[in-house]
Structure 1
Amino acid sequence: MNHRTALLVAIVIAAAPALAQETGTLKKVKDNGSITLGIRESSYPLSYLDDKQQPVGYHIDVCNRIVDAVKAQLKLPALKLQHQAVTSQNRIPLVANGTVDLECGSTTNNEARQKQVAFAPTTFVTNVRMAVKKASGITGLAQLGGKPVATTTGTTSVQLMRAHEKGKGIDFKEVYGKDHADAFLMLETDRAVAFVMDDNLLAGLIVSSKSPADYAIVGEVLNVEPIAIMLRRDDPAFKKLVDAAVIGLMKSGELDKLYTRWFLSPIPPKNVSMNFPMSEQLKKLIKAPSDAPAESFNKK
């Protein structure tokens, strides 16, 4: 047993009284002998496919640590791990209906979603901004009038643009990609002049593009959003285990190491670094873990 697994076992044992009765997701996983992770195919560097079409990323690693805790709690070292690709549009229904046990992607924790699903403590914080081609000269929302602006189906980016004081009254045309890669392709092929999304996803797509130097992340911050692993609602035993595993990663320093690996070091498929330092907000949340939604986050 390595140090990481031993730590997770200790965390689970500490939480054992509340987890003694296996119900909900834990019972389902034990009965099936498998656990299913919902993964994204182009949410760089949180959850995406490498050049071998295998899911990799910061939140994939976090979820794998949670799976270690599940194996320890259920005493199932051979628990089968399955992956299910999800999109911005279907991720919540697939968690809610039991198809996916943990969604390991780039989902914002907000009040509306908390009515349908639950979230682990926040493990990433993003700013919603826009990517443009440098040659366009676009630097803010005011320059988007009458122009096509891309976003991903099932996300909140367009609503955030329209709600922003500088976005009100600007008549831009919404165009939607089926996933983040598809939306970025609209920018790349000039079907859109901007792609509005989480800044880390934009940075990852730019680094992985054919001509990274052609793009810039610009404009007003439309929202500051806590990103977290998603799980089913009304399943206190499973949430307690998930929370304990995530907080254990924070307290041990393991989460900092994972962040360095995926945001500050060369990553596949191009073996280049995003050079994306940890935000002050995330540093604070690692010291004081929270699953509070974006609305409370943006009251500050």
Structure 2
Amino acid sequence: MKALFYGVVSTACIAQMVGGSASVAHANDSNTLEKISRTKTISIGYREDEVPFAYRTPDGKVLGYTIELCNYIADYVRNQLKLEKINIDYVVATTATRFVLVKTGKIDLECSATTNNAERREQVAFSYPHFITATRFAAKKASNLNEIEDLAGRTVVSTTGTVNIGQLQNLNRAKNLNISVMLAKQNSEGFSFVESNKASAFVMDGVLLAAQIAFSKSPGDYMISSETFGPPEPYGILMRKGDEGFNKVVNEGLRKLFVSSEINRIYNKWFMSPLPPDGRNFNLPMSLELEAAFREPTEYLQ
């Protein structure tokens, strides 16, 4: 039996290993578990500048809240497959490449801050929600931009490949705001346009705006709008669509973590404590919506 775990593992055997997580009826869906068992490696996609969810420090370490969740999942998968060791291959997954990397199997999990919505679920699968946020804008306090309509006629930036772009453009058309929309490749680039006065505001998820401000040279110079571009939506970990065996194991692992007190320690580590490398602190308490999501983990299908 030992040799089975160090060679090519059949789908039926994988189904037995994970305690029914991948039944023989879903034989064609268990490729990720087979690959992980064969290679003893799980590939994790991450963003380089999405603090505190996923980022790379100057010394090359890959860190973050979602990275820690995915490391937990990796160990849970290792245990289910009865592997002595599992290696983690970190792969950069930008907003433009993340879906392709998941769909083609280049990464097994995309572990950053990706919003779950119906359109995206046509391409990929999402784990149980691990964060909930809404789209807002950040601007310099001196600009006196407080409401979305204050952005009329201004140059506003957002990051390419995000739902935030769509929400910004929809409101721009609906309200005839005549906003000139700029596209940034990364969140750090988008915020830098506001810092350098190339754009009046940066539109992004509220928590990611808070991250850019917290790590800026002058955090006190910026504000985040109270008004949102749409309702709050959850973040989820991306997985390959149709790979039901692997997807079920991922959610089983997350459920075990979310209903335990350990999730509070992890959250406080990344949102209520000084962060490496320079000790900035978000001081962002867990929302009531997220507390409820952790108490009763369930798939988001709206």
TM-score by length of structure 2 reads: 0.89
Deviations 1:233-275 (A, max 9, x none): 1111101110010000011121121111100111112202101
More deviation in 195-204 or 218-227? 218-227
Matched, 1:47 2:54: yes
Shift of 1:166: 9.8
Q: Do the aligned residues in 2 keep the contact of 1:263 with 1:276 (CA within 8 Å)? A: yes
- Paired residue for 2:8? none
Distance, in Å, in 1 between the alignment partners of 2:268 and 2:16 is: 29
Shift of 1:80: 1.6
More deviation in 84-93 or 27-36? 27-36
Helix, strand or coil at the partner of 1:221 = coil
Matched, 1:131 2:138: yes
Q: 1:206 pairs with 213, 224, 236, which one?
A: 213
Helix, strand or coil at the partner of 2:256 = helix
Matched, 1:28 2:35: yes
- Paired residue for 2:274? 266
Q: Do the aligned residues in 2 keep the contact of 1:162 with 1:168 (CA within 8 Å)? A: no
Distance, in Å, in 1 between the alignment partners of 2:60 and 2:233 is: 28
Shift of 1:53: 2.5
Amino acid at match of 1:56: L
Q: 1:161 pairs with 140, 148, 168, which one?
A: 168
Amino acid at match of 1:288: E
Q: How does 1:35-74 map to 2 (within 5 A)?
A: 35-74=42-81
More deviation in 53-62 or 71-80? 71-80
Unaligned runs of 5+ in 1: 1-11
Q: Do the aligned residues in 2 keep the contact of 1:44 with 1:200 (CA within 8 Å)? A: no
Q: How does 1:68-217 map to 2 (within 5 A)?
A: 68-164=75-171, 168-217=175-224
Q: CA RMSD in A?
A: 2.0
Deviations 1:97-137 (A, max 9, x none): 00010000000010011111101100100121011011111
Give aligned pairs, total: 283
TM-score by length of structure 1 reads: 0.89
Describe the shift of the 1:64–1:72 C-alpha distance in structure 2 as closer, same or farther (beyond 3 A): same
Amino acid at match of 2:262: E
Distance, in Å, in 2 between the alignment partners of 1:218 and 1:288 is: 30
Deviations 1:58-86 (A, max 9, x none): 10000000000111122223222110011
Helix, strand or coil at the partner of 2:20 = helix
Distance, in Å, in 2 between the alignment partners of 1:144 and 1:110 is: 26
Describe the shift of the 1:13–1:263 C-alpha distance in structure 2 as closer, same or farther (beyond 3 A): farther
Amino acid at match of 2:44: L
Helix, strand or coil at the partner of 1:252 = coil
Runs of 4 or more above 6 Å deviation: none
More deviation in 46-55 or 182-191? 46-55
Shift of 1:165: 8.9
Distance, in Å, in 1 between the alignment partners of 2:172 and 2:200 is: 20
Unaligned runs of 5+ in 2: 1-14
